[in-house]
Structure 1
Amino acid sequence: MTLSWLQIVRLGLVQMALGAIVVLTTSTLNRLMVVELVLPAVLPGALVALHYGIQITRPQWGYKSDTGGKRTRWIIGGMAILALGGLSAAYGVVLMETQRGLGLIVSILAYAAIGVGVGASGTSLLALLATATAPRRRPAAATITWLMMIFGIAMTAGVSGQFLDPYSPDRLMAVVAVVTLGAFALTCLAVIGIERSVVARAEEASAPFLDGLREVWAEPKARLFTLFVFLSMTAYFMQELILEPYSGLVFGFTPGQSTTLSGAQNGGVFLGMVVVGVAGTALRLLSLRAWVIIGCLGSAAALIGISALGQVGPGAPLLPAVVTMGFFNGMFAVAAIGSMMALAGEGRDAREGTRMGLWGAAQAIAAGFGGLAGAALADLARTVMTDPAAFGAVFTFEALLYLASAVMALRVMEGKVSMAPVTRAAVAGE
């Protein structure tokens, strides 16, 4: 037996729970450090980069769940570590108000735990999906779980933002405790019994990991696509750590309002993904490459708009601009995922997992580097410019990266690849 549609959706709930915890640590806590605690933006940038950097070990977690079996154990165990890390990260911020050194130590340990938890739980979940999902359902399963993760991020940011105002350390700890414990409980309920009910397909014997990685890197298309993933994802994540501080410092948003802004952005991402899935499948409009380019160009235009609004300040329509950016981000992201799936099967046989692992590592490195670079550039610019001009310069640079990504997509991706193989089953299943 393989996974049913209901079981795939249940596993998607784990991705939703994972996103719910991570969004608090990468958006809300980083804003509190920069605005309320008046710390340099590079500090939360370094902490988030730490959690992304640790996720480079994802292949090792996948190997452990492959050889040790019982992926459910790794999924639940990883989520427990992630939940503990998320709660500890919030406590670290609270400690920084009175004991900055101790708070920093707690935060470093907490973000390291977050990286371990995401790597163990997320990788084992994807491994279970890959080995227990029927081949014709795998692209749909990936699409469903990705959308559910975005939904979890948007919902958590939006709802928790309403409960954070008026801000106080006790209120912060209460909100984060509810989210982390709820996410862990949801994970346990979602995965229980699934692994025992399916028979995962047997994995083919393969060369040692490093040998396989060298073979894939020798493929020109795989190598170029890796560079495209790194460049585009650097642009995608560069605003992650500065958007909420920007809203607070330039537009006067409260912690709750800026958290809600993050939720609205991810709501736009979700909508953009759905639009591409429906338009590319039901209406057969455009190719994956075209959707990637549209997403990159739209994201660049939205970032220029967000930068320009900083010159207006409080009262400017920041929320619609951020939702627009999220919408085009979603277009780009889901089309890029589809491209990964289409390209993973090209080249040497039995290396699909290695290619996806290589691109996943590039994404993790870009996520950490992009967030840290955005925060560092904002700090540097604020020493010589006003806040609106400093943040605006970083957003403009990010827009240029999106334009470069669009140009690279023209070279790397095939225009003839359609969206249908990626989401046809997803739309039918939903």
Structure 2
Amino acid sequence: MRLGLVQLCLGAIVVLMTSTLNRLMVVELGLAAVLPGALVALHYGVQITRPNWGFRSDNGGNRTRWIIGGMGFLALGALLAALAVVVLDGVFWAGMALSVLAYGMIGLGVGASGTSLLALMATATAPRRRPAAATITWLMMIFGIAVTATVVGSVLDPYSHARMIQIVATVTGGAFVLTCLAIWGIERGARIVAAPAAERMNFHAGMAEIWSEPKARVFTIFVFLSMTAYFMQELIMEPFAGLVFGMTPGQTTSLSGAQNGGVFLGMLTVGIAATGLRIGSLRGWVVTGCIGSAAVLGAISVAGTTGAVGLVTPLIMGLGFFNGMFAVAAIGSMMALAGDGRAQREGTRMGLWGAAQAMAAGFGGLLGAGLADAMRHLMGNDATAFGTVFVIEALIFLAAATMAARIMQKTTAPAGAALVPGE
């Protein structure tokens, strides 16, 4: 639960960047969606360093310092990103320069803190409890995202730059303090042992060793494909609601809260069904989540073209529900596989999969934003343009479901785990 508080803080800060600040740039400042999309892609691209952070924490024997230091860097970067929005409103190039710096810092902070946190969870938790621990931790993260988006949405209107800066400063400062209180002393109590000096190797040799493991390599490819679909709508959903349905900044931020509330419910449903009722397999939940996400995306496309504003909130919450199903099954597999292979390389494996997820998130977000801009230019109709992008995303989700059905085994989750084998 304490590690989950740290994940909650990570989610609370990042949601401001991917939803609120993104919407302000596109709608209030009138910038092309590809610009904030490129900035978010930069923050994900920087996270290609995740394997290195994991490798360092494996060898250093002190993951706590990376978690706290990374959170501090993330909080400062997020505050600078908010200030950059104000500067963009006056001097475009100065604002872009500050944005590039800020989003780069955000990426480094998330990479250092997030990777070390996952590695600590993998090494401090008994193998049979790792998927359950991952489920609890991610539920807390989604809870933090949903609550932050909802509360910020309720207090952001009437919008002003000063109000936005005050809100971001409050969230980032509170997240840093809570992280320090939550993480303090956990690693000491768990008695984590670093890799012996005689067994340490350089980073490139360590990565080559992990990549030679068939399970780690195939899972990395699946993570990239599925997460590309997962993140394609992240940067365009709020602009879609604002441009097509005329929603205010507060309303669209609350819409993001509803979506993440759906993710929370989807994760909780899988956790209860798999643990308490012992229904379904890891592969089955992944496939169901991907197919359900594709179906809801198709429905959102239709709602936009028909002007059915009353269906937007329940549909987006439904999208979050199926996204949550898929995500918690993938996370359970990730935690179960983290300790499968050479010992004391959990951080490096988590870093590799985290880098694959981050690269897919950056690529997916930029692809979605770029396609939205292109379709709006070609079609001249916002509803049809965004709807086309949602259909493309749905097709990628179906491709990911097909891959999962073929490559994932029913026995991915260990006996006694939160996600159990057996259809």
How far is the alpha carbon of 1:361 from its aligned partner?
A: 1.7
Q: What residue number does 1:309 align with?
A: 303
CA deviations 1:6-34 (Å, max 9, x no partner) are: xxx11211111111000000111001100
- Pairing of 1:113-132 with structure 2 (within 5 A): 113-132=105-124
Distance (whole Å) between structure 1 residues aligned to residue 419 and residue 240 of structure 2: 39
Q: What residue number does 1:3 align with?
A: none
Q: What residue number does 1:356 align with?
A: 350
Distance (whole Å) between structure 2 residues aligned to residue 52 and residue 421 of structure 1: 34
Range moving further from structure 2, 192-201 or 24-33: 192-201
Q: Against the structure 1 CA distance between its residues 137 and 263, is the aligned structure 2 distance closer, same or farther, given a 3 Å change threshold?
A: same
Runs of 4+ with >6 A deviation: 347-350
Specify the SS of the correspondent of 2:280: coil
How far is the alpha carbon of 1:256 from its aligned partner?
A: 0.5
Q: What residue number does 1:55 align with?
A: 47
Q: Against the structure 1 CA distance between its residues 120 and 46, is the aligned structure 2 distance closer, same or farther, given a 3 Å change threshold?
A: same
Q: Is the 8 A contact 1:89 1:110 kept in 2?
A: yes
Distance (whole Å) between structure 1 residues aligned to residue 88 and residue 355 of structure 2: 32
Task: Give the alignment's TM-score, normalised by structure 2.
Answer: 0.92
How far is the alpha carbon of 1:94 from its aligned partner?
A: 1.2
Which of 281, 285, 299 is equivalent to 1:291?
285
Q: Against the structure 1 CA distance between its residues 192 and 354, is the aligned structure 2 distance closer, same or farther, given a 3 Å change threshold?
A: closer
Matched, 1:146 2:132: no
Say which structure, 1 or 2, has more relative contact order (CA 8 Å, 6+ apart): 2
Alignment length (residue pairs): 417
- Pairing of 1:61-72 with structure 2 (within 5 A): 61-72=53-64
Task: Give the alignment's TM-score, normalised by structure 1.
Answer: 0.91
Range moving further from structure 2, 201-210 or 365-374: 201-210
Matched, 1:374 2:364: no
Which of 99, 103, 125 is equivalent to 1:107?
99
Range moving further from structure 2, 370-379 or 123-132: 123-132
How far is the alpha carbon of 1:144 from its aligned partner?
A: 1.8
Q: What residue number does 1:213 align with?
A: 207
Q: Is the 8 A contact 1:303 1:396 kept in 2?
A: yes
Matched, 1:331 2:325: yes
Q: What residue number does 1:232 align with?
A: 226
Q: Is the 8 A contact 1:56 1:361 kept in 2?
A: yes
Q: Is the 8 A contact 2:128 2:417 kept in 1?
A: no
Range moving further from structure 2, 119-128 or 104-113: 119-128
Q: What residue number does 2:33 align with?
A: 41
- Pairing of 1:117-196 with structure 2 (within 5 A): 117-196=109-188
Q: What residue number does 2:11 align with?
A: 19
Task: Read off the aligned partner of 1:246 and give its amino acid letter.
Answer: F
Distance (whole Å) between structure 2 residues aligned to residue 26 and residue 105 of structure 1: 18
Matched, 1:268 2:281: no
Q: What residue number does 2:391 align with?
A: 396
Distance (whole Å) between structure 2 residues aligned to residue 208 and residue 181 of structure 1: 36
**Unpaired stretches in structure 1, ≥5 consecutive residues:** 1-8, 426-430
CA deviations 1:343-387 (Å, max 9, x no partner) are: 455567776554433322211110110001100011111101110
Q: Against the structure 1 CA distance between its residues 111 and 370, is the aligned structure 2 distance closer, same or farther, given a 3 Å change threshold?
A: same
Distance (whole Å) between structure 2 residues aligned to residue 41 and residue 104 of structure 1: 14
How far is the alpha carbon of 1:420 from its aligned partner?
A: 6.1
Q: Is the 8 A contact 1:31 1:245 kept in 2?
A: yes
How far is the alpha carbon of 1:145 from its aligned partner?
A: 1.5
**Unpaired stretches in structure 2, ≥5 consecutive residues:** none
Distance (whole Å) between structure 2 residues aligned to residue 253 and residue 92 of structure 1: 24
Distance (whole Å) between structure 1 residues aligned to residue 177 and residue 7 of structure 2: 13
Q: What residue number does 1:250 align with?
A: 244
Distance (whole Å) between structure 1 residues aligned to residue 337 and residue 174 of structure 2: 37
Q: Is the 8 A contact 1:131 1:201 kept in 2?
A: no
Distance (whole Å) between structure 2 residues aligned to residue 10 and residue 316 of structure 1: 39
Q: Is the 8 A contact 2:153 2:252 kept in 1?
A: yes
Specify the SS of the correspondent of 1:98: coil
Q: What residue number does 2:409 align with?
A: 414
Q: Against the structure 1 CA distance between its residues 214 and 384, is the aligned structure 2 distance closer, same or farther, given a 3 Å change threshold?
A: same
Distance (whole Å) between structure 2 residues aligned to residue 128 and residue 345 of structure 1: 12
Matched, 1:405 2:400: yes
Matched, 1:73 2:69: no
Q: Is the 8 A contact 2:58 2:346 kept in 1?
A: no
Which of 10, 14, 24 is equivalent to 1:32?
24
Q: Percent identity?
A: 67
Task: Read off the aligned partner of 2:186 and give its amino acid letter.
Answer: I
Task: Read off the aligned partner of 2:112 and give its amino acid letter.
Answer: A
Task: Read off the aligned partner of 2:285 and give its amino acid letter.
Answer: W
How far is the alpha carbon of 1:208 from its aligned partner?
A: 4.1
Range moving further from structure 2, 351-360 or 138-147: 351-360
